[in-house]
Each structure stands twice: as structure tokens, then as C-alpha cells.
Amino acid sequence: MNITSSMVQELRAKTGLGIMKCKEALVETNGDIDAAVDYLRKKGLADAAKKAHRTTSEGILGHYVHHSDKLGVLVEVFCETDFVAKTDDFRAFVKDIAMHIASSNPSYLDRDSVPSDVLEKEKAIYREQVADLKKPEKIVEKIVDGKLNKFFSQVCLLEQPFVKQDDITVMEYTKSVIAKFGENVRIGRFVRMQLGE
């Protein structure tokens, strides 16, 4: 099938990706625009996983202040190049993350950031909750693991449902951004301050 420039432009408008990637996707899907979008999403997520270990030394500090002026967030978000850091799309992503932090109030970035004493305290509480069930130890551990996963999804930024699209996590949203920019993106430190807290 002949891939025309108008087909490539239509796919670029839908995905925001470069000409060569769009053309490759259209060739792979015999010119089917919708199939090409799906192809690029799948390939982008796979590519994002490969890029996750690349060095991120550029980026910006993002902020969000609620209209009441009583709640504010400061967050650092890294990328690989200054070129990406200066784009409107990157800045919009950083603003989204700052707004998410303001709304969802995470305590930690990810599971690795949760202090071991907090983790042990949570496990002890969950074991106490299921002690009366008189279940075998393997079952108790599975229940505790399930409760821990729920705990992580509430207190860890990367595991929380993304506030603007709650069917994906912040990590999945970040991976989609990595796929779009073609380089690694990483959320760093953040602070959320509320007047009087």
C-alpha cells in the first residue's frame, strides 16, 4: 500500500510523534490509522521500559498553587535533554504531576521510598486484622500482601490512580510521556504544603 504524506500528517496529529515513526507504523498496519495508533502505543510503552535506565540530568521544577492560596506543591521532574525540558508538552506534564500531588496528597514517591518501620507497622496491623480468621499462614500472607498493595496505591505517588484519568496510574501516565518524548522522564522530590499543617 502507498503511504501518503496526508496519512502520515493525520497520524502525527493524533499521536504527536515524528514523521519516521508514523510512517513506520502505517507501513506495519497497511495504512490503517487506528491500528497504527494502537501499534505506536504498544511500541511506545515497550520503548519506555527500555529507556527507564537512561540518565536524566535535565528537567524543571514545577509548581502548583491552589486558587485559595492555601495549598501549594513544588516538584522536580527530570528528563534527558534541555530541548525536551523546554517544550510546552513537558511543562504541561510537570503541571499535571504538581496538580495530582495537590489533589491526592501522596506521602512517598514509590514503594522503595516507604521507610521500613512504616512498612512493618502496616504489616503488623494487617496481620492483626486477619488473626481472627484462623487461616493458614500462606493465606494470611496473601491477604497481607493484598492490603499492602492497596496501601501503596494510596500513599505512593507513582502507584496512585492519576487524578485526571483514574483508569491509569501516575507511573503509566509517565510511561506514556516517555514514549511520546522518546527519552527517559523521571519524577524526583516533591513537597506539598497546606496552610496551617
The pLDDT tens digits for 83-98 are 999 999 999 999 999 9
For residues 191 and 179, give the distance between their C-alpha atoms in angstroms, rounded to a whole number: 27
* pTM score above 0.85: no
Rounded to 5 degrees, φ, ψ at 156 are -100, 120
CA distances (Å), origin 179, targets 21, 48, 93 = 11, 5, 13
Higher-confidence residue of 83 and 37: namely: 83
For 17-30, write each residue's pLDDT tens digit. 667 778 888 888 88
Over residues 51-109, the pLDDT tens digits come to 556 667 799 999 999 999 999 999 999 998 889 999 999 999 999 999 999 999 999 99
pLDDT digits (tens, 9 = 90+) for 138-185: 888 888 889 999 999 999 999 999 999 989 999 999 988 988 888 889
User: What CA–CA distance (Å, rounded) separates 27 from 22?
Assistant: 9
What pLDDT score does 51 carry?
56
Domains, in order of start, for the chain: 5-51 (1.10.8.10), 58-109+156-194 (3.30.479.20), 115-155 (1.10.286)
- pLDDT level of residue 47 (50, 70, 90 thresholds): low
Q: What pLDDT score was predicted for residue 34?
A: 86
